[in-house]
Structure formats: C-alpha cells, structure tokens
A and B are shown apart, each in its own frame.
Chain A
Amino acid sequence: MGKHIYLRAYLAGIAVPTVLLLVAMTLYTILRVIYRFPVPIERVIVFPMAIVPNLWGLWNVVYVAFLARHRFPLGLHGDALVFLVSPLGFLFARVLEFPLPHIFFVLAPIAIPVGLAVYYLAWKYLVGFLNAELGIA
C-alpha cells in the first residue's frame, strides 16, 4: 500500500468536491432550465468544476506530504483552504464579469464562518474517511 501515495492523496482530495458538484449542477440545471433562473452561472462554472476540485486534490497532497506525520488536524488544514478558495472565487467572478448580487456582499460576514464550518466538517469527515480508506493518513 506504500505505492503512489501522492496520487492517492490527490484522488481522495478531488473526490469530495467532484461528487458535490453533481448535486450543485443538478440543482442549477433544474433552476436554469425549468424555472428560467436568470443568472448566467455557466460563465463561471469552470471555477467549481475544475479549479476547486484540483485545489482540494493538491491541498490533500500537501497535507499528506508535510502535515500528516505531525498529526496536524485535517479539519484545520481544510479550513485554511477557505482563505485561498474564497478570494480566488471572488476574483474569478469579477474577471469574468459575473453579476454578483448585492446580498452576496451583505452576507459576506456570515458566509465566511459558514464556509469555514463546511470546509472543516467536509475535510475532517469526508476527506479524512477517504484518506483512511486509501491508507494514506
């Protein structure tokens, strides 16, 4: 089981957002096609579809390479990713001229702790479970 440890870490990392993306895309498709939701998410869909899963995979590789041996909490490591993903997502939306609704800015002080909680739980339990199953942490 000692072979390709970083490849397994990468795959364990990308698995969670990839599965969640299916849920998000299903909801979005229903909203967009059936209810004529007037937000052009396809303009920025590449961010959750390609960039986020790859960041999760690479972030898990970083954990396995440097932090797992020190028993650093995986949930906290996942939390740190929020501070990379969140500004990157915002920047991406601005560069691609995605119309961010006003409520996005109003709810930002609540969105950050919520994002931290989601990332903490997802990394601790979902990525942690996959890492354990693949024998890398």
Chain B
Amino acid sequence: MNEEDLKQMGKRLRNALGPLKNAELERDLWPEMVRKLDQTTVHVPWFDWVLLAGLGVALWFFPALLPALLYHI
C-alpha cells in the first residue's frame, strides 16, 4: 500500500464517518473535578478516634502486643 492509497483510504473513512458533532466540551469540567475531590474527604466519627486512642494507649502500655499483632496482619 503506497502513500496515495493511504490518503485515499483516509479520505474515504472521513467521508464515511461524517463530521463529529459536539467535538468541543459543552462545559468546564474542572469545577466538577474540584467538587469530587472535596467529596472524597474522609469523615472520621468520634468513636473511631476514641478507638484509635485506646489502641495507642494499649500498645504503649503493652508493647509485647505488637509482634502478635503484626503476625496476624
């Protein structure tokens, strides 16, 4: 297939498909992206903070728990 054949084929394909409609974006997508990023903020309820603090205290007073914990994770 030579250069001329490729050009002809390209022309035929373009004619067959027709012009693209709505090729441009209808709106700016960035504000939506920012909104989506804001939504992904993790909300941690107070009892989970209490649980995390209790966990820290337990490991602080009983560091021997750490190897057993790592073995099970």
Contacts and interface: CB of A to CB of B under 8 A. Distances in A.
Contacts, number: 64
Given A103-B64, A124-B48, A118 B55 contact: yes
B65 interface: yes
Q: Is the interface of B mostly helix, strand, loop or mixed?
A: helix
Contacts of A121: 48, 51-52, 55
Interface in A69-115: 82, 85-86, 89, 101, 103-104, 107, 110-111, 113-115
Given A107-B64, A110-B62, A129-B42, A118 B71 contact: no
Interface of A: 17, 20-21, 23-24, 27-28, 44, 47-48, 52, 82, 85-86, 89, 101, 103-104, 107, 110-111, 113-115, 117-118, 120-122, 124-125, 129
Interface of B: 42, 44, 48, 51-52, 54-55, 58-59, 62, 64-65, 68-73
